[in-house]
Structure 1
Amino acid sequence: MKKIEFKIATQEDLPFIVNVYNQTIAGHTVTATLTPVTVAERQPWFDAHKPDEHPIWLAFVDGKRAGWVSLSPYHPREAYRITAEISIYIDQRFRHLGLGTKMVQYAEQAAPKLGLKNIVCLIFGANLPSLGLFEKLGYKTWGTLPNVALLAGKLMDLKILGKAIH
């Protein structure tokens, strides 16, 4: 097994984060973003993630940046602060190594210290690898929004999966 480590993302990591995010756009099953984004466009998103509330972590495999995982506010209203949305993105060179499992587990372990009780993820119904990953880790379907997105000319369902964190 390769050595996997995590660290809080810094401003210097944002170009890597954007690059990995942009790798997923062309596949039309991972993100609702239709065209590549710039570092400047992602800056407000990055700035909104505070390490002691909603962190972004970089994942390293054998010392090399391999992906990132974030916990974002699920909803801006205060009563929802106990729930966060998880996102994971893995550099194409590091996919299929079991890194996604480690990334989700790392975020889950950190969640209680952040005051979180639930983690949700929003996954397109056509994204079978991500659905399989989260279901394997105990996430359940909490809802489905049918045909809410149009990607590459196809209507997509959005599945909401969730897990209570103890």
Structure 2
Amino acid sequence: MTNVRNLAEADLPAVADIYAHYVTGSVATFDETPLGLDAWRAKADGIVGAGLPFLVAEVDGAVAGYAYVSQYRPKPAYRHTVEDTIYLAPGLTGRGLGRLLLGELIRRTGETPARQMVAVIADSGDPASARLHKRFGFEEAGRLRAVGFKHGRWIDTVLLQLALDQNGSTTRQTSAG
């Protein structure tokens, strides 16, 4: 059984393990050192404390992925723009968990003062993340060339953007179903 719910303190070790997999074995994140539990606790406290969603997907009682939004940039004028983050446990991709997490993340973020959601996606050659976001109405807003260097190569990032309305949905019709 699959369930999407708010993050609990007990989920942090699983979240840290999932993220560590991507830090050490991919270019999906530009972090080069996995975050410890204290860093994850502080991050989660900051996100939830700001009134933003931090979600986990559970499959048969185990954390199978997570998603959250955080303020896009620290300057005050960006306070209504958030950046989404989604990671799935290794071996659990391609099962619709990303769709469940992103759909619920958009819905809950639409209930906050946020009006724009940005996805910053490392262009690793795998189109899955961009495809997922585009299914929910995200549109490409730009490309930053060779802005990350990891595992011996330069990586672009693709910026995708979604306008949110004040009713917990997007301002565009989506084909996420």
Pairwise same-fold verdict (TM > 0.5): yes
Which residue matches 2:158?
Answer: 159
State how far apart, in whole Å, the 2-side matches of 1:42 and 1:64 are. Answer: 18
The number of aligned residues is: 164
Q: CA deviation at 1:45?
A: 1.6
Q: Mapping of 1:10-25 within 5 angstroms?
A: 10-25=8-23
- Aligned with 1:67: secondary structure? strand
Structure 1, unmatched stretches of 5+, are none
Q: Is the Cα–Cα contact under 8 Å of residues 55 and 66 in structure 2 kept in the other structure?
A: yes
- Aligned with 1:94: secondary structure? coil
Under a length normalisation based on structure 1, what TM-score does the superposition of the two structures give? 0.89
- Aligned with 2:28: secondary structure? coil
Q: Is the Cα–Cα contact under 8 Å of residues 9 and 57 in structure 1 kept in the other structure?
A: yes
- Aligned with 1:50: secondary structure? helix
Under a length normalisation based on structure 2, what TM-score does the superposition of the two structures give? 0.84
Q: Which has the higher helix share?
A: 1
Structure 2, unmatched stretches of 5+, are 166-177
- Aligned with 1:114: secondary structure? coil
Q: Is the Cα–Cα contact under 8 Å of residues 52 and 114 in structure 1 kept in the other structure?
A: no
Q: Which 4+ residue blocks in structure 1 deviate beyond 3 angstroms? A: none
State how far apart, in whole Å, the 1-side matches of 2:138 and 2:162 are. Answer: 5
- Report the AA paired with residue 140 of structure 1: E
Q: CA deviation at 1:60?
A: 1.3
Give RMSD over aligned pairs.
1.7
Which residue matches 1:101?
Answer: 99
Which residue matches 1:129?
Answer: 128
Q: Identical aligned pairs, as a percentage?
A: 25
Moved more, 21-30 or 95-104: 21-30
Which residue matches 1:141?
Answer: 140
